[in-house]
Amino acid sequence: MVSHSHSSSPPTPTPAESPFKAYPDDVPTVEKIAKHLVILFRIAKEFIAGFRFFSRVYPMVSIFGSARIPASHNGYEATRELAAKLGREGFAILTGGGPSFMEAANRGAREAGARSLACNIRLPHEQAANRYIDRLVTMRFFFSRKYMLISYSVGFVYLPGGFGTLDELFEVLTLMQTKKIPRRPVVLVGTEYWRGLEQWLRGEVLRVGAIGDESLPLFRITDDLDSIVQELKRTKNEIDRER
């Protein structure tokens, strides 16, 4: 039987032939320590700001999607309509604060009289916040922003998007798969856009054993906005009974 306890095991020495032997563990300089402390302070400051605001908002739905796809895409109006429907049911809407589908979600929330919230990110080429946000929190680090977008929401809705949207989607799925966060609705809106991803996951990824059958029900794809609203309402009621 293999033991996984490392409490009494000595550290494994670096092999003599390793190239890392040429780089011994020197004591860091004061300048390097100070630089790291500044980074830690900035991280803590962002988390505290996020905790103070987002932890008080309930119920809230996070809506993700592209910042690049033009508003002429039919997903823009669908996002706007969905956010308005959710807003009228009492949900706050949280987005990444950018243009395109994020703007549509904040716009729909604003038009429904719901709380329209955003957690934006500072980029070298500044991502300007859209004009339909009631409360904006801007962060320097992607990981702290992602924590806020995920941790306090009762469900997650994904519109078409690129690397950023896919990163946010698979982050949530991974956290649910590994039971780091409770299972919540993950809905991908746009069957035509997402069909290829689902086919790949159910085909090659499942075939080689990279995921199991139990992972596939973690998300669903639909164009039915009313079904999304009803699912999120059921989830809220379940959470209310557990609180």
Q: What are phi and psi of 155, to 5 degrees?
A: -170, 165
Encode pLDDT of 91-147 as tens digits: 999 999 999 999 999 999 999 999 999 999 998 875 689 999 999 999 999 999 999
pLDDT for position 179? 96
At residue 91, the 3 state secondary structure works out as coil
Band (8; pLDDT cuts 50, 70, 90) = low
Q: Which residues fall within 8 angstroms of residue 183, CB to CB, at 6 or more apart?
A: 176, 218
Closest CA to 86 of 240, 237, 243, 228: 228
- Beta-sheet pairing, 155-158 with 60-64: parallel
Give the residue, 151 or 6, on which the prediction is more confident.
Answer: 151
Asked if pLDDT for residue 217 goes beyond 60, the answer is yes
Encode pLDDT of 154-177 as tens digits: 999 999 999 999 999 999 999 999
CA separation for the pair 117, 19 (Å, rounded): 50
Residue whose structure tokens are 């080689």: 208
CA separation for the pair 90, 14 (Å, rounded): 58
Q: What is the DSSP letter of 56?
A: T
Give the residue, 182 or 8, on which the prediction is more confident.
Answer: 182
Asked if pLDDT for residue 6 goes beyond 60, the answer is no
pLDDT for position 1? 41
Chain mean pLDDT for the chain: 92
Long-range (24+ apart) CB contacts under 8 A made by 14-21 are none
**Topology at the third CATH level for domain 34-242:** Rossmann fold (3.40.50)
Q: Domain ranges in the chain?
A: 34-242
